[in-house]
Amino acid sequence: MRIRLFTFAVVLLFFNFTSAAQTSIAPPAAQQQPAVNPLQDLSAQVPAPKPEDVKSTDSILAAVYSVISGPAGERDWNRFRSLFLPSATLTSAGKDREGNIHVRPRTVEDYVKNSGSYFAQHGFFESPVVSRVQTFGNIAHIFCSYESRRAVGEAPFARGINSFELAYDGKRWWIASILWDEERPDNPLPKEFAARP
């Protein structure tokens, strides 16, 4: 019985000692990093959206295509920024002329900078063909085939599929990412995405 009590006392003393040691090596409160607020207001980090742009999955897709489409000239990049989470990515995955596959992720600002200079000099009109939407709770995934034109009424010079990941925060929809690949002879659009129903 005495051995058990002695063993219990030693174990208790050990735990008290290690607990005190851990407390004593913690940095002072002034040196600790501030806690990240997981409920931080994302809306404060982007321009204010048009309410009709972010009210549904359909409206946010329509807004993306509307912003990037138009004759040569400036686009409404603040409207574009307002559609995306601050950490959103836009990623192309495709092949170059030599057959090398490239995956190129961009931030929203990367896209604005690179595409903005192109759109300033060239007309560009992209329109959806077929969209397949899957939702679960506050998330949505949309596979949307598209056609790209240099002018309204012209034949498309490119087609492909945009893969959208969206999130709903209780007030509005956000684009978390867009991933796309273009149609090529070795990568034709599937029949169900190739023509409007």
Which residue from 121, 144, 128, 135 is spatially nearest to 167, judged by alpha carbons?
Answer: 135
- The DSSP code for 27 is P
Percent of the chain with pLDDT over 70: 80
Q: Encoding tokens for residue 8?
A: 């219990």
| Model pLDDT, residue 193 | 98
- Position 42 confidence tier, pLDDT thresholds 50, 70, 90: confident
- Position 30 confidence tier, pLDDT thresholds 50, 70, 90: very low
Q: Encoding tokens for residue 47?
A: 């321009």
| Model pLDDT, residue 100 | 93
Q: Is the pLDDT of residue 39 over 70?
A: no
| Model pLDDT, residue 41 | 82
- Position 32 confidence tier, pLDDT thresholds 50, 70, 90: low
Q: Quick check: pTM over 0.85? A: no
Cα 101-106-109 angle, rounded to 5 deg:
155
| Model pLDDT, residue 197 | 84
* Residue listed under structure tokens 């929809």: 173
Average pLDDT over the chain, rounded to an integer: 86
Percent helix, strand, coil in the chain, to 5, is 35, 35, 30
